[in-house]
Amino acid sequence: MRHLLEINDLARDEVSEVLRRAADPALSKPLQGRGVALVFEKPSARTRNSMEMAVHQLGGHGVYIQGHEVGFDVRETVEDVTRTLACYYDLLAARVFRHDVVERMSALNTRPVVNLLSDRAHPMQALADLLTLRAEFGELAGRTIAYIGDANNVTRSLALAAHAMGMRVRVGHPAGYGFDAVDMAVLDQAGVDVEFVDDPVAAAAGADAVYADVWTSMGQEEESAKRLVDFAGWTIDTALMARASDDAVFLHCLPAHEGEECTREVLEAPNSRVWLQAENRMHAARGLLHWLVTDAK
Ligand code: CP
Ligand code: NVA
Which atom of ligand 2 lies nearest, measured to the CA of 46?
5
Q: Is 154 in the pocket of ligand 2 (CB under 6 A)?
A: yes
Q: Is 239 in the pocket of ligand 1 (CB under 6 A)?
A: no
Please tell me the pTM assigned to this model: 0.98
Q: Residue 46 CA: which ligand is closest?
A: 1
Q: Sign of dihedral through CA atoms 184, 248, 258, 45?
A: negative
End-to-end CA distance of the chain: 7
Q: Which residue out of 253, 261, 262 has the highest number of ligand 2 atoms within 8 Å of its CB and is therefore the one to mutate?
A: 253
Sheet strand arrangement including 195-197: 195-197, 168-172, 144-148, 209-212, 249-252
Superfamily of domain 123-277: Aspartate/ornithine carbamoyltransferase (3.40.50.1370)
Q: Is 125 in the pocket of ligand 1 (CB under 6 A)?
A: yes
Summarize pLDDT for 239-294 with one digit per residue, the tens: 999 999 999 999 999 999 999 999 999 999 999 999 999 999 999 999 999 999 99
Q: Is 78 within 8 Å of 72 (Cβ atoms)?
A: yes
Query: What was the pLDDT predicted at 285?
Result: 98
β-pairing, 61-66 vs 144-148, is: unpaired
Q: Is 253 within 8 Å of 154 (Cβ atoms)?
A: yes
Reported in sequence order, the residue ranges of the chain that DSSP labels E, i.e. its strands, are 35-40, 61-66, 91-95, 113-115, 144-148, 168-172, 195-197, 209-212, 249-252
| Residue with CA nearest ligand 2 atom 2 | 217
Which atom of ligand 1 lies nearest, measured to the CA of 253?
1
Q: Is 218 in the pocket of ligand 2 (CB under 6 A)?
A: yes
Summarize pLDDT for 57-97 with one digit per residue, the tens: 999 999 999 999 999 999 999 999 999 999 999 999 999 99
Q: Do domains 7-122+281-294 and 123-277 have the same CATH topology?
A: yes
Mean pLDDT of all residues in 2-25: 97
Q: Is 126 in the pocket of ligand 2 (CB under 6 A)?
A: no
Distances (CA, A) of 67 to 40, 51, 94, 201: 5, 16, 9, 40
Domain ranges of the chain: 7-122+281-294, 123-277
Q: Residue 47 CA: which ligand is closest?
A: 1
Q: Is 152 in the pocket of ligand 2 (CB under 6 A)?
A: yes
Q: Is 263 in the pocket of ligand 2 (CB under 6 A)?
A: no
Query: What was the pLDDT predicted at 234?
Result: 98
Contacts of 1 (CB under 8 A, 6+ apart): 109, 111, 112
Q: Which residue out of 39, 48, 95, 117 has the highest number of ligand 1 atoms within 8 Å of its CB and is therefore the one to mutate?
A: 117
Q: Is 46 in the pocket of ligand 1 (CB under 6 A)?
A: yes
**Domain over 7-122+281-294 is classified CATH 3.40.50.1370:** yes
Query: What was the pLDDT predicted at 189?
Result: 98
| Residue with CA nearest ligand 1 atom 6 | 44
Summarize pLDDT for 114-162 with one digit per residue, the tens: 999 999 999 999 999 999 999 999 999 999 999 999 999 999 999 999 9
Q: Is 158 in the pocket of ligand 2 (CB under 6 A)?
A: no
SS3 236: strand
Q: Is 151 in the pocket of ligand 2 (CB under 6 A)?
A: no
From ligand 2's centre to the CA of 150, what distance in Å?
10
Mean pLDDT of the chain: 98
